[in-house]
Amino acid sequence: MPLRLYNTLSGQLDELTPSDGKELRMYACGPTVYDYGHIGNFRTFLQIDVLRRFLRLQGTRIRHVMNITDVDDKIIRNAAAAGVPIGEYTPLYERAFLDDLASLRIEQPEIFARATEHIPEMVDLVERLAAVGAAYRTGDGAGDGTDHGSWYFRLAAFPTYGKLSKKDLEGITDGARVDVDEYEKDSARDFALWKATKPGETSWETVIGTGRPGWHLECSAMAMKYLGESFDLHAGGEDLMFPHHENEIAQSESVTRKPLARHWMHVRFLLVDGRKMSKSEGNFYTLRDLLLKGYKASAIRMALVSVPYRHQLNFTFEGLTEATNAIDRLRTFVARLKKASLSEGTTVALQEAADRAEAGYFAALENDLNTAEARAPIFDLVRMMNSALDLGTVLAGDRERVLAVLEKFDAVFAVIADQDAEPTRAALAWAESQGLLDKVAPEVLVQQGLTDADIEALIAERNTARKQRNFRRSDEIRDELAAKGVIIEDAKDGVRWKRK
């Protein structure tokens, strides 16, 4: 059956299918590359990855575009503080973002669109908006096309503003990321399309003046360039619904008179231990933070996708441990099933159980990507199969059928195949390059085999503790090494150790 996905614009579950019957065209808001991404960012990207993977599993062709915002206020500020131009500052964080996508097994879109590479398209859109009376310029000498001045979108020119977020236009005032300039605007609710240059800022000389694009303008121009004036799906985090997505709609539809996107998908925020994530709360985590604490990339992925995208996720370390255990159950079962010596044939009950699990899995994802309900029949099947293996009632045909079901599960969840070592190695290499190895959980260093010196250092500390009759510390170190997969033996000729 076709996927029925909640459409923020219509307020109901709508079928998501390609409008041309051939290829689903989707745009997903990407990162602003001024710093490392945090787990809230990656929850959104992961949920969009689930959507993408499930559509492909259903046989849908996809043309997926994601923007990379490589010029904005934060980037300019941070680059200036670092004493480098933005062209040198942003590649570091773009590369980190791509590495994090790979660590979490998030498929890359067909097209990455960088803002700084699409200035002509943005300028053209401002000119089109001005031609229909939806854009105006402020500042001294406005209108001569050469001097400094900011361009704004006139909200009064778009009567249906607020139709996505269902906000009352009269209640909208300047606020978070609603651009404010020193130049006087026609209305406090109008937003910036093109920002006049300030001393020391990156800028472009164009026919509409010297300056740089506003945040909202970027996505409208790039989405329409690669997907056309009207496309199938626009996705992003719920924080982007207003004002960013509302502004995209207003900019685009003012000149095209067509719906920018037929379908809008928004992913809910996450909490961390029941609170909003923030550095001041001490509960702010990047992917690298969690990898260096010893958590696996697959467990982070599972934890962030297990709660459906329209439900708020409360991220906890207990939840990460549960995700780790769930993945271990799947991997242990798959290894057991593949190694089992089985007779030829099939078992009716097990074949029917596999059919039910697959049908339940697909039905859950077809119903608004309900990832929680999609997991349940798969784990029920694993429990049933483990019992059948214990009883010796599994035949070779049953194995093939169940592995086929699990392959479809992993085509979307992407956690069964063990690809955890490389993300952690990459995080360790990054930590070493940043001089942060002292922040890494010791077991991570040992488990990755960075050097045997780490083990020797703990053993030396244990020997010292024993000589000082600090047996509590001695036992702690023994237990710590055991937890890291290292066995120590006290012999007459000294301490021996080996890895499990």
Q: According to the model, what pLDDT value does residue 485 have?
A: 63
Instruction: Tell me the per-residue pLDDT of 373-413, one tens digit each, with 9 for 90 and over.
Output: 999 999 999 999 999 999 999 999 999 999 999 999 999 99
Asked which of 381, 413, 445 is the last residue of a domain, the reply is 413
Q: What are the Cα distances from residue 491, in Å, to 348, 472, 486, 494? A: 57, 20, 16, 5
**Strand-pair category, 209-213 with 275-276:** unpaired
Which residue bears the tokens 């079928």?
15
Strand pairing class (270-272; 275-276): antiparallel
> What pLDDT, on a 0 to 100 scale, did the predictor assign at position 213?
96
* pLDDT > 70? residue 140: no
The CATH number covering residue 298 comes to 1.10.730.10
Q: What tokens does 302 get?
A: 């599972």
pLDDT band at 112 (very low <50, low <70, confident <90, very high): very high
The better pLDDT of the pair 447, 291 is held by 291
pLDDT in tens, 464-478: 888 888 888 988 888
Listed in sequence order, the DSSP H helices in 232-272 are 246-256
Question: Which pair of tokens denotes residue 217?
Answer: 């303008």
Strand partners, 137: 151
Phi, psi of 78 (to 5 degrees): -70, -40
Q: Quote the pLDDT of residue 179.
A: 47
Is residue 320 located within the same domain as residue 198? no
Enter the pTM of the model. Answer: 0.87
Single residue among 240, 267, 294 that ends a domain in this structure = 267
pLDDT at 198: 85
pLDDT digits (tens, 9 = 90+) for 159-203: 999 999 998 766 555 433 444 444 567 788 899 999 998 888 899
Q: Which residues make Cβ contacts (< 8 Å) with residue 371, sequence separation at least 6? A: 50, 305, 306, 307, 308, 309, 364, 365, 413
Instruction: Please tell me which residue, 63 or 215, carries the higher pLDDT value.
Output: 63
pLDDT of residue 448: 64
| pLDDT at residue 500 is higher than 70 | no
CATH number at residue 245: 3.40.50.620
Q: In which band, very low, low, confident or very high, does the pLDDT at 145 lie, cut at 50, 70 and 90?
A: very low
Q: Which element (helix H / strand E) includes 329? A: helix 317-339
Query: What is the arithmetic mean of pLDDT over 113-117?
Result: 98
Residue 276 has what pLDDT? Answer: 94
3-state secondary structure of 22: coil
Which pLDDT value is given to residue 495?
78
Q: Do residues 412 and 365 make contact, with C-beta atoms less than 8 angstroms apart? A: yes
The whole-angstrom separation of Cα 31 and Cα 2 is 30
Residue 328 sits in the same domain as residue 451:
no
CB 405 within 8 A of CB 380: no
Residues 162 and 189 in one domain: yes
135, 18: one domain: yes
Q: Return the higher-pLDDT residue of 479 and 258.
A: 258
pLDDT over threshold 90, residue 445: no
Return the pLDDT at 245. Answer: 98
346, 398 in Cβ contact below 8 A? yes
Q: Are 220 and 286 in the same domain? A: no
Q: Are residues 352 and 471 located together in one domain of the fold?
A: no
Whether residues 193 and 291 share a domain: the answer is: no
Same domain, 71 and 219: yes
CB 339 within 8 A of CB 28: no
Whole-angstrom distance, CA of residue 234 vs CA of residue 260? 9
Same domain? For 22 and 171 the reply is: yes
pLDDT above 70 for 142? no
By the 10 Å C-beta count (0-12 exposed, 13-18 middle, 19+ buried), 308 is classed as buried
- Average of pLDDT values for 217-243? 98
Amino acid 182: pLDDT: 47
Q: Tell me how far apart the alpha carbons of residues 89 and 101 are, in angstroms, rounded to a whole number.
A: 20
Same domain for 74 and 38 = yes
Residues counted in the chain: 500
> Among candidates 160, 155, 198, 159, which has minimal Cα distance to 174?
155
Q: 337 pLDDT band (50/70/90 cuts)?
A: very high
pLDDT tens for 252-275 read: 999 999 999 999 999 999 999 999
Say which range, 44-58, 294-308, 439-453, has the weakest mean pLDDT: 439-453
Residues 455 and 395 in one domain: no
Q: What is the pLDDT of residue 468?
A: 86
What is the domain range of residue 154?
Answer: 4-267
CA distance 276 to 307: 17
End residue of a domain, out of 380, 413, 446: 413
Q: Are residues 39 and 156 in the same domain?
A: yes
For the chain, give the percent of residues with pLDDT over 90: 78
Instruction: Give the distance from CA 180 to its chain's centroid.
Output: 29
Task: Summarize the confidence of residues 219-230 as an average pLDDT.
Answer: 98
Percent of the chain as helix, strand, coil, to the nearest 5:
50, 15, 35
Question: How far, in Å, CA of 189 to CA of 171, rounded?
Answer: 10
Q: What is the overall mean pLDDT for the chain?
A: 91
- Among the residues of 267-306, which ranges form H helices? 287-292, 297-305
**Count of domains for the chain:** 3
Residue with structure tokens 């109008």?
190
Decide if pLDDT at 499 tops 60.
no
C-beta separation of 208 from 149 below 8 A:
no
